Structure 1
Amino acid sequence: MRIVQHPIELKKELKNVKGSIGFVPTMGALHEGHLSLIKKARDENDVVVVSIFVNPTQFLPGEDFNKYPRKLEADIKLCELAKVDFLFTPNIDDIYDKDEVLIKAPNIKGYILEGFNRPGHFDGVLQIVNKLLNIVNPTNAYFGKKDAQQLYLIKKMVNNFYMDVNIVECDIIREKDGLAMSSRNVYLNDEERQKALLISKSLKRAAKLIMQGVMNVQDIKSEMLNILKPLDVEYVEIVNRNFDKLDKIEIDYTIILVAAKVGTTRLIDNIWI
């Protein structure tokens, strides 16, 4: 495995690659969710590139940029075991300069749900993903469905800018108890961890109601909010794949999303119906 820090060096290395390139962008602190993306990339491509970069532009003032988990040595070992070919670990100064050309998230879909209380968050996400895709120039890039709105906006950016990359949607990986895997789960103490399970419990309840024929969105949201009462709920929303709000469930075209704080830790989760 080659570890590369500078973008220009990586671009030069990858120019000589023959065959398909699979790319998995991460912020590090790798867990089984990340590894599932890497495995899929390994299975489907000739060369696999993973990036580790905690991107400052997607964190708002007061968020956890400075304390975000950083475990580079462990991440390197995991990438070696997963047979990654190139690990890209740039510094902030390698990626950003002082007078950037900026990308802006859509005025509507970039400022709802995750973007509502975190205005500008998706500007930063799209900025870094655009840069990384241009540096790596992958055949396929792999993103998890847990960050569903992020995934939607990245696909929209790729389409709007006519970028030559296939965005691969990957299923959420969960702990045995149902908690969606996240690098931020390490912030939870034992009591908070148990409370956090109410998020996946509410989503399971929604799925069960739909299986029983309940299609009214307000009825489903009411049941979910009842389960989530002990938590500081930011939103429960039911949208279609284009992130338009729904009144009734549309099978094979619906996403049910939850964002809530457990203690001081903000968690998101969803289920695709």
Structure 2
Amino acid sequence: MAQTVGFVPTMGALHDGHLSLVKKSLAENDLTVVSIFVNPAQFAPHEDLTSYPRTLPKDIEILENTRSPGAGSCETRYPAAVFAPTANEMYPSGIVLEIAEQKGAFVEVKGFSHQMEGQTRPTFFRGVATVVTKLFNVIQPTNAYFGQKDIQQALILKRLVTDLLMSHPTPQNLHIVPTGRDLTDGLALSSRNLYLSPAGRKVAPTLRQALLAAEIAWNGGATKHETLVRAITVMDAAIRRAHREGLTAGIKLDYIEMNDTKTFEVLDAQARKTEGSTVILSGAFYVDKTAAHRQYSAG
């Protein structure tokens, strides 16, 4: 019987959020592969690619000490391999950050990359789609695992494997895993959040609190407009409180929005929850110049 291969793509600087995906893959597959590659195509020219943390030796040590029991067995499983390619290996034609100067094959999921996070990072999902296509071609995984925190990315990748008729993984085997969160304040476990200042760390959970308030309003029958007003009210109150306490920390709300899960189109202001439907409730909040994204589906 063929062995199943689980795959967790990362850009390194591993934390407990990554490891929750790795452990799920270990539990559900015979073999698990983790990739570590800081993808240049995801960075715009004004973003500092060189400052992204690169901690490969530490990441490998963390993975060597990560284990999980296999589902339905007494076997203890460890990651089987780490794939850590160079930029030249992943981009044989070379790679520069200016799209107009790039050469070679790139992948774009048309009509799904300009909404939500794509509004302020218009080339980001092109870079994601390109590198994940390459990684899927190399690894040929049975199952692949992505965090719900990056729900737009995960849904775009589901669209990618569907439209390109990929068999490894199939769309149903691209799994979206609930976001791992800090048990004390609920802040998402992410590489960016590790670099928050103490003041920024105190303010950053505000966005999740706002989105939870919005989710309650939406599920309670509020219109989309009323739902977003509720979220923004929570954000505004928290920002004013932070300023009074001297916790400025470069605070700025980027956006809070509600989008259709299939088309990513913005919901009408008077839309209400309908039975069986799901929407994407998402937001971005800058703290210490760090974009703290909290994206998830609301029933």
Calculate the TM-score normalised by the size of structure 2.
Answer: 0.81
Aligned residue pairs total: 255
Residue identity in the other structure for 1:209: A
Superposed counterparts of 1:1-273, under 5 Å: 18-82=2-66, 83-98=78-93, 99-106=103-110, 108-164=111-167, 165=169, 166-176=173-183, 177-211=185-219, 213-229=220-236, 230=239, 231-242=251-262, 243-246=264-267, 247-250=271-274, 253-273=278-298
Identity %: 36
Taking a change above 3 Å as real, the CA distance of residues 40 and 252 of structure 1, as seen in their structure-2 partners, is: farther
Residue identity in the other structure for 1:29: A
Contact 1:209 1:220 in 2 (8 A): yes
Looking at structure 2, the residues matched to 37 and 172 of structure 1 have their Cα atoms a distance apart, in angstroms, of: 9
Looking at structure 2, the residues matched to 208 and 259 of structure 1 have their Cα atoms a distance apart, in angstroms, of: 19
Residue identity in the other structure for 1:218: H
Deviations 1:137-160 (A, max 9, x none): 000011111111111110001000
> Structure 1 residue 216: deviation in Å?
0.7
Structure 2, unaligned stretches of length 5 or more? 67-77, 94-102, 240-250
Deviations 1:242-262 (A, max 9, x none): 123222234551221011211
> Structure 1 residue 94: deviation in Å?
1.1
Residue identity in the other structure for 2:202: Q
> Structure 1 residue 58: deviation in Å?
0.6
RMSD of aligned alpha carbons: 1.6
Contact 2:257 2:281 in 1 (8 A): yes
> Structure 1 residue 18: deviation in Å?
4.0
**SS of structure 2 residue aligned to 1:147:** helix
Residue identity in the other structure for 1:134: N
Contact 1:203 1:271 in 2 (8 A): no
Looking at structure 2, the residues matched to 152 and 269 of structure 1 have their Cα atoms a distance apart, in angstroms, of: 15
**SS of structure 2 residue aligned to 1:70:** coil
- Structure 1 runs of 4+ with >4 Å offset: none
Q: Which residue of the partner structure matches residue 248 of structure 2?
A: none
Looking at structure 2, the residues matched to 64 and 188 of structure 1 have their Cα atoms a distance apart, in angstroms, of: 17
Calculate the TM-score normalised by the size of structure 1.
Answer: 0.89
